[in-house]
Structure 1
Amino acid sequence: MKDRLHDELVHLLQEGLVTSLLQPIVHLETQQVFGYESLSRGPSDSPLHAAPVLFELAEKYALSDELEALCLKVAAKNWASHALDCHLFVNISPSMLLPSRFSSVQLRELMRRHDLEPQQIVIEISERFPALQLQELKNAIAWLKAEGFSIAIDDLGTGYSGLKLWSDLQPDFVKIDRHFIRDIHEDLVKLEFVRSLVELSDRLGCRLIAEGVENQAELTVVADLGIELIQGFLVGRPKPYPTADLSCLPDRQQVVQKTTGRLARDLCEYVEPVTPDTTLREAWECLQRNLHIFSLPVVQDGRPLGLLHKWRVLELYGSQYGRALFERRAVINFIGRDSLVVDQRSTLDEISQRLIEEDFHYLKQHFIVVDEGIYVGLGTTRRLLKQITQERIEKARYANPLTQLPGNVPINNELDKRLKRVLPFVFIYIDINDFKPLNDILGYQAGDLVITRLAELLLVHFNYKGDFVGHVGGDDFVVMTEREDVDDVCRALQRRFMEMVRSVYPSTVQEQGYMLAQDRDGQPKQFPLSSIAIALIKIESPNEYTSELIADYAADAKKASKIAIDHFYSRLLI
Structure 2
Amino acid sequence: MKDRLHDELKHILSDGLITSLFQPIVDIDKQEVFGYESLSRGPSDSPLHAAPVLFDVAEKSGVSGELEEICLTVAAKNWSAHALDSYLFVNMSPSILLPPRFRGFRLMKLLHQYHLKPEQIVIEISERYPALQLQELKSSISWLKSQGFKVAIDDLGTGYSGLKLWADLKPDFVKIDRHFIRDIHDDLVKLEFVRSLVDLSSRLGCTLIAEGVENQAELNVVMDLGIVFIQGFLVGRPKPYPTADLSSLPDKQQLVPKSTGKLARDLCKYIEPVEPDVSLREAWERLQKDINIFSLPVVHEGRPLGLLHKWRVMELYGSQYGRALFEKRPVIHFIGRDSLVVDQNSTLDEISRRLIEEDFHYLKQHFIVVNQGIYAGLGTTRTLLKQITQERIEKARYANPLTQLPGNVPINNELDRRLKRQLPFSFIYIDINDFKPLNDVLGYQIGDLVITRIADLLLKHFNHSSDFVGHIGGDDFVVMTEMESVAELTHEVQVAFKAAAHSLYPQDMIQKGYMTALDRDGLQRNFPLTSIAFAIIRVESPCDYKPDQIADFAADAKKQSKKADRFCYSRILI
Confirm or deny a common fold (TM above 0.5).
yes
Indicate the residue corresponding to 1:425 in structure 2. 425
CA 1:150–1:370: 2 relative to 1, 3 Å: closer
Q: Distance in 2 between matches of 1:433 and 1:283?
A: 65
1:304-383 alignment to 2 at 5 Å?
304-383=304-383
CA 1:386–1:522: 2 relative to 1, 3 Å: same
Indicate the residue corresponding to 2:246 in structure 1. 223
Give the residue type in structure 2 aligned to 1:268: C
Give the residue type in structure 1 aligned to 2:271: V
Q: Deviations over 1:240-276 (max 9, x none)?
A: xxxxxxxxx9521579751132121211112222222
CA 1:388–1:472: 2 relative to 1, 3 Å: same
Q: Deviations over 1:346-389 (max 9, x none)?
A: 22122112212221221111111122222221111111111111
Q: Distance in 2 between matches of 1:483 and 1:317?
A: 52
CA 1:320–1:33: 2 relative to 1, 3 Å: closer
- Contact 1:256-1:405 within 8 A present in 2 as well: no
Q: Distance in 1 between matches of 2:236 and 2:294?
A: 51
Give the residue type in structure 2 aligned to 1:533: A
Q: Distance in 2 between matches of 1:121 and 1:542?
A: 41
Q: Distance in 1 between matches of 2:255 and 2:549?
A: 29
Q: Distance in 1 between matches of 2:277 and 2:382?
A: 30
* 1:205 CA drift (Å): 8.8
Indicate the residue corresponding to 1:30 in structure 2. 29
Q: Deviations over 1:418-464 (max 9, x none)?
A: 23343221111100111112212222221111111111111111111
Q: Distance in 1 between matches of 2:547 and 2:279?
A: 56
- Contact 1:201-1:208 within 8 A present in 2 as well: yes
In the alignment, structure 1 residue 145 sits paired with structure 2 residue 180: no
- Contact 1:119-1:150 within 8 A present in 2 as well: no
1:128-167 alignment to 2 at 5 Å?
142=113, 144-145=115-116, 147-148=118-119
* 1:201 CA drift (Å): 7.9
Indicate the residue corresponding to 1:449 in structure 2. 449
Give the residue type in structure 1 aligned to 2:412: N
Indicate the residue corresponding to 1:399 in structure 2. 399
CA 1:362–1:256: 2 relative to 1, 3 Å: closer
Q: Distance in 2 between matches of 1:391 and 1:555?
A: 28
Indicate the residue corresponding to 1:564 in structure 2. 564
Q: Deviations over 1:157-198 (max 9, x none)?
A: xxxxxxxxxxxxxxxxxxxxxxxxxxxxxxxxxxxxxxxxx9
CA 1:278–1:201: 2 relative to 1, 3 Å: closer
Q: Distance in 1 between matches of 2:555 and 2:496?
A: 24
1:229-268 alignment to 2 at 5 Å?
251-252=251-252, 257-268=257-268
Q: Distance in 2 between matches of 1:541 and 1:378?
A: 31
* 1:147 CA drift (Å): 5.0
1:77-92 alignment to 2 at 5 Å?
none
Give the residue type in structure 2 aligned to 1:442: L
Q: Deviations over 1:399-427 (max 9, x none)?
A: 11111111111212222222334322111
CA 1:392–1:309: 2 relative to 1, 3 Å: same
- Contact 1:533-1:561 within 8 A present in 2 as well: yes
- Contact 1:255-1:459 within 8 A present in 2 as well: no
Please give the secondary structure, in 2, of the residue aligned with 1:484. Answer: coil
Q: Deviations over 1:333-356 (max 9, x none)?
A: 111111111122222122112212
Q: Distance in 2 between matches of 1:505 and 1:200?
A: 38
CA 1:330–1:147: 2 relative to 1, 3 Å: closer
Q: Distance in 2 between matches of 1:386 and 1:429?
A: 32
Q: Distance in 1 between matches of 2:426 and 2:111?
A: 49
Q: Distance in 2 between matches of 1:570 and 1:335?
A: 53
Q: Distance in 2 between matches of 1:389 and 1:357?
A: 19
CA 1:461–1:283: 2 relative to 1, 3 Å: same
Indicate the residue corresponding to 1:408 in structure 2. 408
Q: Distance in 2 between matches of 1:255 and 1:452?
A: 17
In the alignment, structure 1 residue 463 sits paired with structure 2 residue 463: yes
Q: Distance in 2 between matches of 1:276 and 1:568?
A: 57
Indicate the residue corresponding to 2:484 in structure 1. 484
CA 1:564–1:385: 2 relative to 1, 3 Å: same
- Contact 1:257-1:405 within 8 A present in 2 as well: no
Please give the secondary structure, in 2, of the residue aligned with 1:145. Answer: coil
- Contact 1:431-1:475 within 8 A present in 2 as well: yes
Indicate the residue corresponding to 1:522 in structure 2. 522
Please give the secondary structure, in 1, of the residue aligned with 2:116. Answer: helix
Indicate the residue corresponding to 1:72 in structure 2. none
CA 1:407–1:199: 2 relative to 1, 3 Å: closer
Give the residue type in structure 1 aligned to 2:570: S
Give TM-score scaled by structure 1 length: 0.60
* 1:28 CA drift (Å): 6.1
Indicate the residue corresponding to 1:54 in structure 2. none
Please give the secondary structure, in 2, of the residue aligned with 1:400. Answer: coil
* 1:141 CA drift (Å): 5.0
RMSD over aligned CA atoms reads 3.3
* 1:495 CA drift (Å): 0.6
Q: Deviations over 1:504-558 (max 9, x none)?
A: 2233333333222222222222222211011111122222222222222212211
Q: Distance in 1 between matches of 2:413 and 2:572?
A: 22
Match of 1:203 among 225, 238, 248: 238
- Contact 1:433-1:530 within 8 A present in 2 as well: yes
CA 1:205–1:322: 2 relative to 1, 3 Å: same
- Contact 2:258-2:465 within 8 A present in 1 as well: no
* 1:223 CA drift (Å): 2.2
* 1:393 CA drift (Å): 1.2
Q: Distance in 1 between matches of 2:235 and 2:269?
A: 52
- Contact 2:274-2:283 within 8 A present in 1 as well: yes
CA 1:513–1:206: 2 relative to 1, 3 Å: farther
Pair member with larger Rg = 1
Structure 2: runs of 5+ lacking an equivalent: 1-24, 35-79, 89-108, 123-232
Structure 1 vs Structure 2: percent identity of aligned residues? 65
Please give the secondary structure, in 2, of the residue aligned with 1:144. Answer: coil
CA 1:323–1:30: 2 relative to 1, 3 Å: same
Indicate the residue corresponding to 1:475 in structure 2. 475
Q: Deviations over 1:205-236 (max 9, x none)?
A: 97438xxxxxxxxxxxx523x7xxxxxxxxxx
Q: Distance in 1 between matches of 2:425 and 2:544?
A: 13
How many equivalent pairs are there? 375
Give the residue type in structure 2 aligned to 1:251: D
Indicate the residue corresponding to 1:505 in structure 2. 505
* 1:32 CA drift (Å): 7.0
Q: Distance in 2 between matches of 1:205 and 1:363?
A: 43
Q: Distance in 1 between matches of 2:426 and 2:236?
A: 42
Indicate the residue corresponding to 2:189 in structure 1. none
Structure 1: runs of 5+ lacking an equivalent: 1-25, 36-92, 98-117, 123-137, 152-197, 210-221, 227-248
Please give the secondary structure, in 2, of the residue aligned with 1:566. Answer: helix
Q: Distance in 2 between matches of 1:201 and 1:334?
A: 40
- Contact 1:276-1:332 within 8 A present in 2 as well: yes
* 1:284 CA drift (Å): 2.0
Please give the secondary structure, in 2, of the residue aligned with 1:259. Answer: coil
Q: Deviations over 1:445-493 (max 9, x none)?
A: 2111111111111111111132111111100001111111111011011
Q: Distance in 2 between matches of 1:149 and 1:374?
A: 44
- Contact 2:235-2:246 within 8 A present in 1 as well: no
Indicate the residue corresponding to 2:148 in structure 1. none
Indicate the residue corresponding to 2:225 in structure 1. none
Give the residue type in structure 2 aligned to 1:560: Q
